Amino acid sequence: MEKQVFNPFLPSWEYVPDGEPRVFGDRLYLYGSHDAFNGSDFCVNDYVCWSAPLDDLSDWRYEGVIYRKEQDPRNRDGKMHMCAPDCVQGPDGRFYLYYQLHALTCTCVAVADTPVGPFEYYGCVHHPDGTPWGEKKGDSFAFDPGVLVDDDGKVYLYVGFSPEGLFKHVFKLRGNKVDGSVCLELEQDMITVKGGEHPIVPGPVLARGTDYEGHGFFEASSIRKIGGKYFYIYSSILSHELCYAVSDKPTEGFRYGGTLVSIADIGLRGNTTPLNYTGNTHGGMCEVNGQWYIFYHRQTNRIKCSRQACAEKLTILPDGSIPQVEVTSCGLNDGPLSGKGQYEARIACNLGAATGMVKSDEAKKKDKKNLLPTFTQSGEDREANGDQYIANLQHGSWCGFKYFAFDGTESKLIVTVRGSAAGTLKVYTDCNLPPVASVPVKPSDDWTEYSEKLEITAGEAPLYFVYEGGGSLDFSVFEIE
């Protein structure tokens, strides 16, 4: 790579969640829904696309708006939001974008001659009689489509939604099934249902007493074929994790595999403490130059609908299992980040408070004393000079960055902070050991630099910044020189 790449890997002002990575030709394309900074709801912006050359995943290019909400004839006023999409190349060579308008029950399709459009409305996935699939009583709720064009040219659509409580009751009243995910085979036209529904992964109720118990299907279907086996990725009822199931067939026999990633590292090596905000996540797997990755999104701004794209390397073991991966700051990078250089605080992969972390959509309700730190930005939505930073580090709050490769030479740490804080920003590679730096800070309304010696040995290590003192601290940048 020509430069380092971090998590989140898109610019700080970009909020693309639900990322589906797809390789077409010599580039990797990211399709996702499109949140707004400080948005009032999920997916309020038009679809955009980003891409990178396969030989340099640090070089992401903005491909622009590829499909607008108003292009769907049932949404001319643009009031309905476009939820998580997927994009595949059909047997005819064209590119098909599958999506759902949030207030409808069916899967919509747009089509283009290139991976980045312009996409044009194609229609609704429908029964042979033309009725949109999802609108007949007994159809499953067609949410979060994932699509597979198999090696033999057959086309499979995976959808589903399996909430609990009131939402489940409402959907059942509408006549939709919401008991797990299902698969439909489509005709070669990419839009007509060829057969009936095939159950794939059970929802939380049907999962009881099975290997899926505690990790039953909630939403976020994604499908990949690897080495002759079908890997189905989904968001479990826990919401903060992506799980997978495996089968020898595309329509049946899926066995629970495990958790791929949790945005708060819950379940990793037995951890039960959220190491960041929890909330929903959604993504897919992709292979680039022999390396598999899982794409997912994180939560920001103390709300549920300002989400950003991240990715981590996966290891597929010889038996086909995939161990849960740790969220990191380096994700798509060739390896750990350099132990020398300047880094934005926004690339922290862990964020915590002395009081513990909560779901992003519960932060404002549960954090009435405003004790929790958060990722936020100055400027408005999609304002390219709107810098992102960590706000509101109070006594006992911390942020973690993983990982760096240190060479053991003498180093100096420079931090850029502001706020009412009067205390010390302590830096650790292991919170059970003495700090490797202690940086005194004073109250300041303006961004202010402070520097101290960084005493760290050669090797790969994380950096944990822990604030101790009064007031609150905003954290913008740190540099190691």
Residues 103 and 226 in one domain: yes
- Asked if residue 31 is part of any domain, the answer here is yes
Residues 310 and 341 in one domain: no
Which residue in this structure is represented by tokens 């995939």? 322
Residues 275 and 401 in one domain: no
For residue 71, the domain's CATH number is 2.115.10.20
Measured CA distances, 53 to 1, 31, 40, 286, 335 (Å):
10, 15, 34, 14, 18
Identify which of 158, 257, 224 has the alpha carbon closest to the alpha carbon of residue 21. Answer: 224
- Beta-carbon count within 10 A of 460 CB: 14
For residue 392, the domain's CATH number is 2.60.120.260
Residues of the chain with pLDDT under 50: none
Chosen domain end from 280, 314, 348: 314
- Asked if residue 52 is part of any domain, the answer here is yes
Provide the 3-class DSSP secondary structure of residue 12.
coil
Residues 358 and 233 in one domain: no
- Asked if residue 389 is part of any domain, the answer here is yes
- Asked if residue 324 is part of any domain, the answer here is no
pLDDT at 167: 77
- Asked if residue 372 is part of any domain, the answer here is yes
pLDDT at 386: 79
Residues 360 and 456 in one domain: yes
The answer to whether the CB of 281 falls within 8 A of the CB of 243 is: no
Which residue in this structure is represented by tokens 């797990």? 180
Model pTM score = 0.97
Provide the 3-class DSSP secondary structure of residue 362.
helix
pLDDT at 326: 98
Residues 289 and 345 in one domain: no
195: tokens are 């057969």
Residues 71 and 220 in one domain: yes
Residues 219 and 262 in one domain: yes
Identify which of 397, 285, 413, 385 has the alpha carbon closest to the alpha carbon of residue 348. Answer: 397
- Asked if residue 25 is part of any domain, the answer here is yes
Task: Give the E-state strand segments of 165-270 in sequence order.
Answer: 180-186, 198-202, 217-226, 229-236, 241-247, 255-262
Task: Give the CA radius of gyration of the chain.
Answer: 23
Report the relative pairing of strands 341-344 and 146-149 from DSSP bridges.
unpaired
Measured over the CA atoms of residue 78, residue 79, residue 80 and residue 85, the dihedral's sign is: positive
pLDDT at 380: 92
Which residue in this structure is represented by tokens 């390219």? 384
Identify which of 59, 51, 63 has the alpha carbon closest to the alpha carbon of residue 25. Answer: 51
pLDDT at 384: 84
Residues 247 and 299 in one domain: yes
Residues 348 and 306 in one domain: no
- Asked if residue 100 is part of any domain, the answer here is yes
Count of the separate structural domains present in the chain? 2
- Residues acting as catalytic residues: 18, 219
Residues 83 and 224 in one domain: yes
Identify which of 444, 345, 452 has the alpha carbon closest to the alpha carbon of residue 391. Answer: 345
What is the residue range of 434's domain? 337-480
Residue 441 CA to residue 411 CA, distance in Å, equals: 19
Residues 153 and 221 in one domain: yes
- Asked if residue 214 is part of any domain, the answer here is yes
